Every structure is written in structure tokens, then in C-alpha cells.
Amino acid sequence: MIEPIKWKDNKIVFIDQTQLPAKLKYVRCWDIDVLCEAIKKLRIRGAPLIGVAVGLGYALAGINSKEKTFRGLKKDLDRASLKLRATRPTAVNLFWVLDRMEDKFKTLSRFKINAIKKAISREALDILEEDKKMCAAIGKNGAKLIKKGDVILTHCNAGILATAGQGTALSIIYEAKKQGKRFKVYADETRPLMQGSRLTMWELMQNHIDATLICDDMAASTIKNKGVTKIIVGADRIARNGDAANKIGTYGLAVLAKHHGIPFYIAAPSSTIDKDIRSGRDIPIEERDRDELIYTGSKQTAPVNSKVYNPAFDVTPHSLISSIITEKGIYEIKRFRGI
């Protein structure tokens, strides 16, 4: 299986996802500012993968520090953590991982500097390994919902490229295929940055899944005319009441699912649940650069001085979600209390 991020010789190696599907390009990164730029520009993206990346980034800042005392090292790590926290606001995994790395660091004050650096690298690698296990468990749990002949619609990319493992929503698809179930997948292209067409189609085809690309405004008629039986997507942050933020366009799909009487599932690791947030109203939604709507790739597709509204995520109210699938099980929304 392809690995979108790796830790090699105390450096981070990642796939530059902005180059896909044309080029599979790996970047070696030993600089925290390069990592921050990669996260902001979506070279590294997807909530769980962003979490793994910032954990490794924190470890990298430790390795790069020239400080010889615990206090000096703490200053360097705090500076790195602030930069990493400022990259993207919506995926809670980013903040959860940095909190965990900082908590780990605090327990290490009586150790020698080299031992501390090793221990924080170990913690970041543990997070990476745990993410792999969570993805596999989400797949196993969610595959129970897949029936022979299902037609599944997905949005954005919640697959191998968005995690350290086999994905969240797409992990269910890979597991169902492994179990010999036959089904079809429709992938939304996911405007404006095309994570569906560039990334989901690429990885589903690599893994021999029967997948068909549609553009976002074909979703309603595809559900109606092609007999879509369920919609499965990932999430960037889930509130205690089950409201879930995911890639812009997800909310519209949930409304369509309700209208057509088909289930709408969110698949995410429990690290995507923000226990500090009561409802979706409190989820910070990233607004991205206007140029993402003015240009499609390098081609200008709107007047340059158009007024632009470009939120990267929307919040699906829990009332439109059938169940949330995590590594711990399938939670019917009625029973979901931020588990």
C-alpha cells in the first residue's frame, strides 16, 4: 500500500498530493517551515494525515534544535507547535496530536536531551502506527453495512492519501472488496481543489475498485438515476452532538440522501471527535484563498475581481446523519453522545 507520509533517517518524506494524479512525487523534508507550507497548500491533506504530519513535524523540530537544556528545547518546540497550529483550523486531529506531543514532552524533563528527542520521535511514530490500526478497524466495522450490489457515493478523499493507513470512508470500501462483496462507487470530483477526481479516483483505480467519476452537480441525478444506495464520507471534526464538518459539498449530499431515503454515513477515527465542542456551530471553518475559485488550475475561469466566498468545509447537522462509524463501532446517531 502506498504511504503518503514516512519518517526516514530523522526526516519526513511525503507525497506532494498537489501533483497527483499526473505525478507521484515524494518530497524529503527536514524543515518545519517547508512542512507548514505543505500543509497549508494541501500537499499533505486529510484530517488524520495532517495529524500524523504535525506529530512528525514536532519531532523534527526537536531533532533540529541545537539547544542543550530542557528549557531551551521547550522554547524551540513551542515555537514549532505554534507554527504548526496556524496551518489549518478545521481538522481537530492537528490540535489533538500537538496537545499529545506537548503532554509527552512535559513528562521528559529528567532525561538527557538526546533521550528526550528519541522519546518524542517515538511518540510521533506511535501516532502514525495507531492511525493505521484505526483505519483498519473503521474498515472492518463499516464493511458490515455494505451489501452485495450497493452503489456508494463518496466525496472528497477520505482514503489512503488522507491517512497513514487505508483511509476512513474508503477503508470500508477496501475491506468490503477484500470480503468479496461486489458494489460500485461514484466519486464526486469535489470542487474547487478536486480531491475526488485527482485523489479518490486515482487511489480507487490503483486498488481495482469499480469507480466512476462524476462532477459535484451530477450528484442528485446520479443518486436518482444510478440507484445510489448509500453515501459514505469522512470528517474533519465531529461535535459532541454528532454534527460533522467535512469538505464543502458534504452537507448538500446529506440533504440529498434524506430526500432520496438513503443512509448517510460519516466514517472517522475517534480522534476526529472534539469533546470540547457541543455542536457544529462551534467548529471553526477554514476560508481559503479567492484564487482557488478564480482559476481552475492555471486557467482563469472567473473575472479576476469577482467577489468570492470560499469555505473549505461545511457542517452536516446530526439530524441528517444515519450513523458515525469509528474504530470502536457503528454509532447510530440517536445513540451518539461524543462517545
Closer residue to ligand MRU (CB): 65 or 271: 271
DSSP 195: I
Of residues 165 through 194, those in contact with ligand MRU by CB under 6 A are 167-168
Q: Fill in the DSSP letter of residue 164.
A: S
String of contacts with ligand MRU for each residue 90-129, x by CB under 6 A: -x--------------------------------------
Strands 323-326, 329-332: pairing is antiparallel
Position 323 contacts ligand MRU (CB under 6 A): no
238 within 8 A of 317, measured Cβ to Cβ: no
Q: Binder to ligand MRU among 14, 15, 48, 229 (CB under 6 A)?
A: 48
Among 5, 15, 32, 45, binds ligand MRU (CB under 6 A): 45
| Active-site pick, 150, 236, 274, 314 | 236
Q: Examine residue 195 and tell whether it contacts ligand MRU (CB under 6 A).
A: yes
CB of 152 to ligand MRU, least distance (A): 15
What phi and psi, each to the nearest 5 degrees, are found at residue 24? -100, 95
- Strands of the sheet containing 244-247, edge to edge, are 237-238, 244-247, 313-316
Would you call 236 a catalytic residue per the annotation?
A: yes
What is the CB neighbour count within 10 angstroms for residue 197? 20
Q: What one-character-per-residue DSSP string does 27-44 give?
A: EEE--HHHHHHHHHTTSS
Among 5, 20, 35, 47, binds ligand MRU (CB under 6 A): 47
Least distance in angstroms from the C-beta of 317 to ligand MRU: 17
Stretch binding ligand MRU (CB under 6 A), from 64-72, 106-114, 161-169, 210-218? 161-169
Which residues within the stretch 229-248 sit at the binding site for ligand MRU (CB under 6 A)? Answer: 234-236, 246-247
Q: Which of 252, 249, 246, 267 is nearest to 322 (CA)?
A: 267
Alpha helices (H) in 41-168, listed in sequence order? 47-64, 70-85, 92-106, 113-143
Told to check if 42 binds ligand MRU by CB under 6 A, we report yes
Q: How far apart are CA 129 and CA 126, in angstroms?
A: 5
The residues carrying an active-site annotation are 236
Residue numbers of the site for ligand MRU (CB under 6 A)? Answer: 42, 45-48, 91, 156, 158, 162-163, 167-168, 195, 234-236, 246-247, 312
